[in-house]
Amino acid sequence: MRSRAIYGCAGTSLSAAEVDFFRDVKPWGFILFARNISDQAQVIALVEELRSTVGGAPVLIDQEGGRVARLKPPHWPARPPAARFGLLHQTDPQAAREATYLNARLIAHDLSTLGINVDCLPVLDVPVSGSHDIIGDRAFAHDPATVIALGRAQIEGLMDGGVLPVMKHIPGHGRAGADSHLALPRVSASAAELSASDFVTFRSLSQCPIAMTAHVVYESIDPQRPATTSPKVVRDVIRGEIGFDGLLMSDDLSMQALDGPLSVRAKAALFAGCDLVLHCNGNMEEMREVASEVKVLEGVALKRSEQALAHLSVPVALNGAPFDAAAAQARLDALLGGTA
């Protein structure tokens, strides 16, 4: 049986200690970062090495495009940030949707050739004036309608390319006045404001198979706890108002928005209603602490995991023909008016 955790690793291959740890705790999945990546052959080998410790597992990455990209030139092409598609949407919504789909399909192609099958994308946050730029151009636009339209195209592109999407950061990071990697953001907007803007993108795309929580306090809902560790936010907003019944994973437990020992953070996130907890930095001491509070994946969390993984499939045909990455790239370049 798998445990309710996703872990990173320290380098470009596994140490003996990491192999022993992963075999012992049997995480649900793994996540890769820039420190784990050098070239294509190395990444393929690392993915196989990770999976071998648990007999197969999802492997995740944050490959958004723009400034959040773990796979970078010269070995992988640079992909545009989400805001570029939002800009095109202002003048040609149909072209923007097609471009977003093709870009996501190309990202999925990049990932699937490495054995990576989950991408932490789309970003469905809706930034507002004055908010911290940690989201910034990672968001498609400042209006929910554009975010929904392009977020849907991105989800479809990833799934058609054989990669599971993870919508983030539910129920919304766009109003945050701080970077949750460094501090705990507090949002003072009313529940009505949040419902009309921040939550609506996730509500409209609630069929996405996986979602990642926001380390953000919504004072009008739960002034004491960020969404990740708030039973009220998870129950009433994420599962309730938004209607998300898919697999819910926390954002990284080691981020400074959360406080207390890692074991306490993990326990609180699971108690709040997260199905899985995420720990990213590959620090063995921290991972052991997280593992001390992470139990076996069972019950409703196991059912949600099975439902999410059931969406994985081989890449589907594009316009009735096998996917042609070069042709898709050329079409994307034309839609964006130059090299994407």
Alpha helices in the chain (DSSP H): 16-25, 40-54, 82-91, 93-112, 144-160, 191-193, 199-204, 231-232, 262-272, 284-291, 299-309, 325-336
Q: Which position among 251, 252, 275, 279 bears the catalytic label?
A: 251
**Residue 314 is part of which domain span?**
3-336
Give the domain CATH number at 117: 3.20.20.300
Look at residue 340 in the predicted model and tell me its pLDDT: 53
The pLDDT assigned to 318 comes to 87
The number of domains in the chain is: 1
**Is 171 in contact with 206 (CB distance < 8 Å)?**
no
Q: Per-residue DSSP letters for 145-213?
A: HHHHHHHHHHHHHHHHTT-EEEEEEET--TT-SS-TTTS--EE---HHHIIIIIHHHHHHTTT-SEEEE
Answer whether 69's CB lies under 8 Å from 78's CB.
Answer: yes
Query: Of 39, 92, 181, 324, which one is the catalytic site residue?
Result: 181
- pLDDT tens track, the chain, 340 positions: 999 999 999 999 999 999 999 999 999 999 999 999 999 999 999 999 999 999 999 999 999 999 999 999 999 999 999 999 999 999 999 999 999 999 999 999 999 999 999 999 999 999 998 788 889 999 999 999 999 999 999 999 999 999 999 999 999 999 988 888 888 999 999 999 999 999 999 999 999 999 999 999 999 999 999 999 999 999 999 999 999 999 999 999 999 889 999 999 999 999 999 999 999 999 999 999 999 999 999 999 999 999 999 999 999 888 888 999 999 999 999 999 965 5
Q: Compute the distance between CA of residue 176 and CA of residue 218 in angstroms, rounded to an integer.
A: 10
Say whether 279 is catalytic.
no
**Which helix (H) or strand (E) segment is 7 a member of?**
strand 3-7
Mode of pairing for the β-strands spanning 59-61 and 247-252: unpaired
What pTM did the predictor assign? 0.96
Examine the residue annotation and report whether 181 is marked as an active-site residue of this protein: yes
Q: Which pLDDT belongs to residue 320?
A: 85
